[in-house]
Chain A
Amino acid sequence: MDTTTGTPTTAATDDEGAEISAPDAAQRADQHLHLLRPDDDVPPGGHVTILAGGLSHERDVSLRSGRRVAESLRAAGLEVTVHDVDADLLPFLDANRPDVVWPLLHGASGEDGSIRDVLELVGVPYVGTGPRESRAAWSKPVAKSVVLGAGLCTPEYVTLPQSLFRELGAQPVLDAVVARLGLPLVVKPTHGGSALGVTLVERADQLPRAMVDCFAYGEVALIERAVRGVELAVSVVDLGHGPEALPPVEIVTSGPYDFDARYNPGRTEYFAPARLDEDVLSIVRAVAVRAHEALGLRDLSRTDVILDPDGVVQFLEVNVAPGMTETSLLPQAARAAGLDLGRLYRSIVNAHVRH
Chain B
Amino acid sequence: MRASEIRALFAVANRPEVVSLAGGMPYLEGLPLDQIADTMQRLVATRGATALQYGSGQGDETLRERILDVVRLEGIDCHPDDVVVTTGSQQALDLVTRIFIDPGDVVVAEAPSYVGALGVFRSYQADVVHVPLDEHGLVPDALEETLSRLAAEGRRVKLLYTVPNFHNPAGVTLTAERRPRVLEIAQRYGVLVIEDNPYGLLGFDGQTLPALRSLDEDGVLYLGSFSKTFAPGYRVGWVVAPHAVREKLVLASESAILCPSNASQLAIASYLDTCDWKGQIKQFRELYRERRDAMVGALSEHLPSARWTVPDGGFYTWVQLPEGLDARSMLPRAVTARVAYVPGTAFYADGTGSSHVRLSYCFPTPERIREGVRRLAGVVNAEQELVEIFGTNAELDPDVTDVENPSPNLA
Residue positions of A touching B, CB distance < 8 A:
53, 55-61, 63, 86, 162, 165-166, 169-170, 194, 196-197, 208-209, 211-213, 215-217, 258-260, 263-264
Contacts and interface: CB of A to CB of B under 8 A. Distances in A.
Contact of B332 (A162, A197, A208): A197
Interface in B1-44: 1-5, 7-12, 15-18
Interface stretch (B54-62, B225-233, B386-394): B386-394
A197 B3 CA distance: 13
A208 B4 contact: no
Given A57-B332, A57-B335, A213 B1 contact: yes
Contacts of A59: 8, 11-12, 15
A170 B392 CA distance: 11
14 contacts: A56-B12, A57-B9, A57-B332, A57-B335, A58-B8, A165-B390, A170-B391, A194-B8, A212-B392, A213-B329, A216-B333, A217-B336, A258-B5, A259-B4
Interface majority SS (helix, strand, loop, mixed), chain A: helix
A258 B392 contact: no
B331 interface: yes
Contacts of A166: 385, 389
Contacts of A263: 4, 8
Contacts of A258: 2, 5
A42 B170 CA distance: 61
Nearest to A62: B11
B8 A60 contact: yes
A260 B387 contact: no
Nearest to B334: A216
Interface residues of B, number: 33
Interface centre among A58, A162, A213 (most CB of B within 10 A): A213
Contact of A162 (B3, B4, B386): B386
Interface centre among A56, A194, A196, A216 (most CB of B within 10 A): A216
A286 to B, nearest CB: 34
Contact of B383 (A57, A63, A211, A216): A216
Contacts of A264: 4
A212 B386 contact: yes
B330 interface: yes
Interface majority SS (helix, strand, loop, mixed), chain B: helix
Interface in B303-326: 326
B395 interface: yes
Contacts of B5: 196, 258-260
Interface centre among A57, A263, A264 (most CB of B within 10 A): A57
A196 B328 CA distance: 13
B228 to A, nearest CB: 27
B129 to A, nearest CB: 27
Contacts of B336: 57, 217
A217 B1 CA distance: 12
A162 B11 contact: no
Contacts of A63: 11
A212 B389 CA distance: 9
B11 A209 contact: no
Nearest to A215: B386
Contacts of A53: 15
A259 B8 contact: yes
A53 B14 CA distance: 11
Contact of A55 (B8, B17, B333, B392): B17
B78 to A, nearest CB: 44
B26 to A, nearest CB: 24
Given A86-B15, A216-B329, A170 B2 contact: no
Contacts of A260: 2-5
A162 B12 contact: no
Interface in B76-112: none
B8 A162 contact: no
B404 to A, nearest CB: 12
A309 B16 CA distance: 49
Contacts of B9: 57, 60
Contacts of B330: 216
A61 to B, nearest CB: 7
A55 B15 contact: yes
A329 to B, nearest CB: 17
A63 B7 CA distance: 14
Contacts of A211: 386, 390
Interface centre among A53, A60, A258 (most CB of B within 10 A): A60
Contacts of A60: 7-11
Contacts of B383: 216
A86 B14 CA distance: 13
